[in-house]
Every structure is written in structure tokens, then in C-alpha cells.
Amino acid sequence: MLFASCKKDPVEPVTPPTPLEIPYDGLTATTSYITTFKGDDGNTSVDFSGQSTRIAMLKELDAHMKSWTTGAVDANKLKNMFANTNTPFANADLNAATDKTIVSKTAGSFSPVDAETERARFRSFFDAQAAASAFRTDSAYEGHAGKLGNYLVNEKGFEYAQFVQKGMMGALMLDQISNVYLGTEKQAADNSVIVSGKNYTQLEHHWDEAYGYLTSNAYFPMKDPNDATKWLEYFLGSYVRQVGDPTLVYMAFLKGRAAIVNKDDATRNTQIEYIRTALEKAVATVCISYLNKANDATTNAARFHALGEATGFLYSLRFAYNAKVNTTKSNQLMDQLMNKPGGFWDLTIADIDAVRDEIATATGLDKETYVNH
């Protein structure tokens, strides 16, 4: 009886865990995003050509905004570039990409009415830049548009080229990454069936499209192989590179993509949370830094240029995920910078510090921060 009572139940066999298709511990900051992920055909399954096309369009638009040094800026040309109408680009491939536009992706996560409000804002910036360019050979002073140092400003000292460039980093890139492609709808896409004619699942593709708005390179950040003093990022990616350790953002994109291959939703969701937080922090940090640089400036040219960049990034903060400086707050703070009778000419150090302090408080960042941009 004693032996019978001590008899042990049979031990169930242990099923070994299924090995990950892409082990996370093999991913490093020098792991290529392009070659790591492959389809059944052995070729890369990464495709963010649509994002690269739109960024190329924005580069041409940005260049025309700044073309005032050689002639008047054409507002209609800018609007055509925005909407990809009337073959406005020097690059014929961009004109041929008739299904790709900047405008359709601007404020894409907003309601149709609110999105149109933001798109109209950019069109008004195009008009304002064209109007200021009529005075490109004049020297700017309060109440008169013209050249201020190396910059074109309107009568209130506003540099619309910066409003557009920095503003699009939020309205196009930050919004598409954090709210659209890493958003609930896109991240609920199918991850079991290969898209017809492609070698990726729809979910894999959405993740790559988010990455494509940060960079088109195989690594992030990436130096120019022909000039070690230069980096290959543009727009939002260029500024994210300058804040904290940018390789952590890259690793989050890399690990999240691997998690999709591994069918590991929990790990993917952790990376989404990190990316959203890091991008908002980067934009806010750079905004605060430019406001500090504006107050340190010794010339109006340098001061207004820094204010133009800061204002563009302040606008962009509304496009962060669950933005700490949302549309209402962003508009309020922009008004504090822009709505004095003389615009930037009338701003005091205290005025600028007040806006800076509100951003720092809302985002939990150091108000004294500087970035070496």
C-alpha cells in the first residue's frame, strides 16, 4: 500500500518551443533592413517605393520653395507638386506616378474635414511664399517682405519655406508613421497570405511603408559612403537622427518587422509604442532647441530663421500619436508666436520662453535642451 500510494503519475512529454524564423538576438544596428526580410522567392520582401516617391516629390517642392534666389516662386507650381497635377516635376518618373500625391497623405489620420483644413494651410503657405518672393531683391524690415540674411521672409518675418518643410515632417511623415501605418487599422491587416503578385503579406508591407517615411536606407542612420561627414537621411529622419540614440529607433523598426514575420504580436506592439514615443520626443526636443537658439541669436536673420523652424516643428507636434501638444494646443502656441501685430519682429525673449516652457511641460522634456542641428 505504501508503494502504491507513492506511485507517480506518468510525465507528459514537453513540446519544445517552435524556433523563431528571425531570432531577435541576431538583430543589431548593422543588420540590413532590406536584406534581412525575404520572401519565398529569396528576394527582399521590403517595398516602400511609394514612400520614396512622395519624399522625392517633397524634395522638389522644397527646392522650388527656396528657388527665390534665382527668380519668383510660382504658387501654382507648388500646388501642382502638392497634388501631382499638370506634370510639375523635373523628374519625369514623378510625373508618371499619377497614383502618388503628397496631398492625399497629408494629415491622413485626421477626419476629412480636419485634413482639408491642414491641406489648405499648406496651400496658403505656398501663396505666401510666392507673394514674398516678389520682394526677393529688397532688404526685409518690419512691415516689408524681402531678404533677411540668406532667408526670404514676409513683412512679419515669417519664413514660409521653413513652415512648409518642417510642417510636412509632421503632417506627412510623423502622421503616416505613428497614426496611419502603425495605427490599429493598418496593423490589423492580413499576415498569413502573400499579396498577389508580391512576396510580402499586407501587414509586412504596412510596416515597411512606415519605415519608408523615416528613411529609404538599409540602415538608420546611414552615412554617405562617399563622404563620412554627411548623412543620407532627409526630412524627419534627419532630425530623429540628431536626438538621443537613433539606433534605438532603428532597432524598434527592425525588431517589429521581425516580430511580424515571427507572428509575435506582443513584441510588435511593444515596438510600435517605442517608435511613437521616440518620434514625438524627437520633434518636441528639436522644437525646444530651436526656440532656445532663437533667443541666443545675435541677428534678426538667425533669430527669425530659428523661429521659422521652431514654428514648423510646433505645428508638427499635433501629428504625434495621442499628441501631448494636440491641435488645439499647437494652434494656441503658434498664435502666441505669430499673432502679434509685427509678427516675429515684436516677439520678446519672454514671449519665446513662455511657448518653450509650455512645450517642455507638456512633453516632460528639459526646457534648456539644445540639439546640434
What is the per-residue pLDDT across 123-136, written as a single tens digit (0 to 9) for each? 999 999 999 999 99
Spatial separation of the C-alpha atoms in residues 61 and 70, rounded to whole Å:
15
H or E segment at 246?
helix 246-261
Residue 372: the pLDDT is 81
Query: What is the percentage of the chain residues whose pLDDT exceeds 90?
Result: 93
Query: What is the percentage of the chain residues whose pLDDT exceeds 70?
Result: 95
Residues 351, 337 contacting (CB under 8 angstroms): yes
Tell whether the model's pLDDT for residue 277 goes beyond 60: yes
**b/e map of 98-134 (b: 16 or more CB within 10 Å)?**
eebbbbebbbbbbeeeebeebbebbeebbbbbbbbbe
| pLDDT band per the 50, 70, 90 thresholds, residue 3 | very low
pLDDT tens digits along 208-263: 999 999 999 999 999 999 998 999 999 999 999 999 999 999 999 999 999 999 99
Q: What is the mean pLDDT of residues 2-12?
A: 54
pLDDT, the chain, mean: 95
Backbone phi, psi, residue 227, to 5° = -155, 100
Residue 2: the pLDDT is 45
H or E segment at 51?
helix 49-65
Residue 311 is which amino acid? Answer: T
Spatial separation of the C-alpha atoms in residues 192 and 357, rounded to whole Å:
48
Residue 8: the pLDDT is 56
Tell whether the model's pLDDT for residue 76 goes beyond 80: yes
Q: What is the pTM of this model?
A: 0.94
Number of neighbouring beta carbons within 10 Å of residue 87: 12
Residue 11: the pLDDT is 62
Spatial separation of the C-alpha atoms in residues 322 and 184, rounded to whole Å:
13
pLDDT tens digits along 10-58: 566 555 556 789 999 999 999 999 999 999 899 999 999 999 999 999 9
